[in-house]
Structure 1
Amino acid sequence: MIEQKQLQLANIELWKQWKEQGWVPAKQSLIESYLPLVDYVSGRLAIGLPKSVSKEDLSSYGVMGLIDAVEKFDYERGLQFETYASWRIRGAIIDGLRQGDWVPRSIRDKAKKVEDAYQKLEQQYLRSVTDAEMSAYLQISEQEFVQMLQDISITTICSFDDPIREEESETRLSLIIDEKAKNPDFKVNEFYLKETLAKAIDKLTEKERTVVSLFYFEELSLGEIAEVMSLSPSRISQLHSKAILRLKGALGRFKTQLFQDT
């Protein structure tokens, strides 16, 4: 934390030179100083990806995200650039991977089928459904369901640039706007979105909530989480996949309800 503060203070002058004077060398210096962020984010995303995905490609996509972050960041708002840039880097890597079509269509179809099943069953039962109930609905054995989760684990990396539903163009990022803007409709939608996500997270199993918390808030890798929870990395990957698919299903229901109410 102290090192981050020191870096931020040291770069203030560079931000001023770049944003206020348009001095390109200052921009280049900022990019170079924050390059370790690209290695950190790409390293975390590399976990669980096929070996065919090149680390060099991940870093290349990430650098583009970092450049975009430096160009768009408003240093005068007092926000932490590291947090903002991490999301931009992450989104750029995911976009790059998707453009390269690194996940077979059959795997994406499986992920969509499981997400839809979670959405329908949990809306029907108003609770977190079990693997047995999911297996029965999908007409497969529980072992086949576990294997399906393992197969689709590499698709559960989320980006705010993803559409809320595949067939629609509206993205999660479109729900995030400048907090200073006074838009009543957005405030109402934002309230219900947060409420929906809170309820969805509450419905996750204890282990799923722990995985989500450690991965997205404590920023541990799946391998580190496996050590903390004394479970195998493949089991942690399955728990992560189930949690993300449940949450995506909840967002899908949220979008459907908004559309029906308008």
Structure 2
Amino acid sequence: MHYSEEEKERLIKTFLPRIKHFALRYYHIVQSFLEVDDLISAGVKGLLEALNKYNPNLNVPLPAYIEHRIRGAIIDEIRSVDVFSKEYRKKVENLKKAYKEIKQKGYEPTDEELASKLNISETELSKVFQSITASELISLDDHIEGYNGDKLSILNIISDKTDIFEEIKFKEIRDKLARAIDRLSEQEKLVISLYYYEEMNMKEIAAILGVSLSRVSQIHGRAMVKLKNLLETD
């Protein structure tokens, strides 16, 4: 579809609050290496790309499609900044592997067991869990082909609040995710719910739970490790 410059400007003003909303959600995770303005700029770019690529024949409402593209553009901006060393990535992969190996014994690994298996302190383990939140945004490897050729990730599917995925036959995937989330601890489910469904940022969640920002990131990181394991074994 073709939009005049005036119409594009109007839509940017209309969606700017949503762009800022998504930018702030992710900024609390990536503020050590990106400015919030970088994320806002990426969101505006995603909006303009949505206007160029939108196809009414998809039977997807334009506002929902625009939000999807805004979120995707911001996540792509984060992924474009490779701040993690090979050593760091190895720690994350080793953690996921250790979790899976212990879980196969039929019980939930404790932090003490994971730290022992990895030969690191529980303090260092906590830091790896905290950092997984950012690394998942940058290197999610669970991609699914979406509408219009887009790549969707577990993150996109969890966080989408519309019925788009029902319409494009992702019901089975959403159901599988719902079953996996239901097997998390109550605290982990609360963090996932507040962050992805209620769209709160980490700072807001920390205030609700009465814990530190780093503790929320740690809970989120552990939940993501568990979710990936559950999705692979379900």
Instruction: Verify same fold: TM over 0.5.
Output: yes
- Work out the CA distance in 1 between the residues paired with 2:113 and 2:153: 33
The TM-score with structure 1 as length reference comes to: 0.69
Q: How many residues align?
A: 219
Pair 1:55-2:36 in alignment: yes
Tell me the secondary structure at the aligned position of residue 157 of structure 1. Answer: helix
Answer with 1 or 2: which has the greater Rg.
1
- Work out the CA distance in 2 between the residues paired with 1:157 and 1:146: 18
Which of the residues 196, 206, 214 maps onto 1:226?
206
Which of the residues 67, 83, 89 maps onto 1:86?
67
Q: Deviations over 1:210-240 (max 9, x none)?
A: 1000111111111111111111111111001
Give matches, 1:112-191, under 5 Å: 112-122=93-103, 124-157=104-137, 162-164=140-142, 172=152, 191=172
Question: Which has the higher mean CA deviation after the structures are superposed, 95-104 or 237-246?
Answer: 95-104
Q: CA deviation at 1:115?
A: 2.4
Which position in structure 1 is the counterpart of 2:161? none
Residues 65, 244 of structure 1: alpha-carbon distance in 2 compared, 3 angstrom cutoff: same
Q: Deviations over 1:24-47 (max 9, x none)?
A: 233443233212222111111100
Tell me the secondary structure at the aligned position of residue 125 of structure 1. Answer: coil
Question: Which has the higher mean CA deviation after the structures are superposed, 221-230 or 45-54?
Answer: 45-54
Q: Which runs of 5+ in 1 are unaligned?
A: 1-18, 255-262
- Work out the CA distance in 1 between the residues paired with 2:167 and 2:177: 23
Q: Which runs of 5+ in 2 are unaligned?
A: 144-149, 158-163
- Work out the CA distance in 1 between the residues paired with 2:79 and 2:191: 25
Pair 1:239-2:219 in alignment: yes
Check conservation: 1:38, 1:63, Cα contact below 8 A.
yes
Q: Deviations over 1:55-76 (max 9, x none)?
A: 2222222211111223334568
Residues 228, 117 of structure 1: alpha-carbon distance in 2 compared, 3 angstrom cutoff: same
Give matches, 1:34-49, under 5 Å: 34-49=15-30
Pair 1:96-2:74 in alignment: no
Q: CA deviation at 1:195?
A: 4.6
- Work out the CA distance in 1 between the residues paired with 2:116 and 2:9: 56
- Work out the CA distance in 1 between the residues paired with 2:138 and 2:197: 14
Which of the residues 198, 206, 211 maps onto 2:191?
211
Question: Which has the higher mean CA deviation after the structures are superposed, 44-53 or 133-142?
Answer: 133-142
Residues 172, 59 of structure 1: alpha-carbon distance in 2 compared, 3 angstrom cutoff: closer
Q: CA deviation at 1:117?
A: 2.8
- Work out the CA distance in 2 between the residues paired with 1:195 and 1:134: 29
Check conservation: 2:46, 2:69, Cα contact below 8 A.
yes
The TM-score with structure 2 as length reference comes to: 0.76
Amino acid in structure 2 at the alignment position of 1:163: D
- Work out the CA distance in 2 between the residues paired with 1:87 and 1:117: 34
- Work out the CA distance in 2 between the residues paired with 1:51 and 1:226: 18
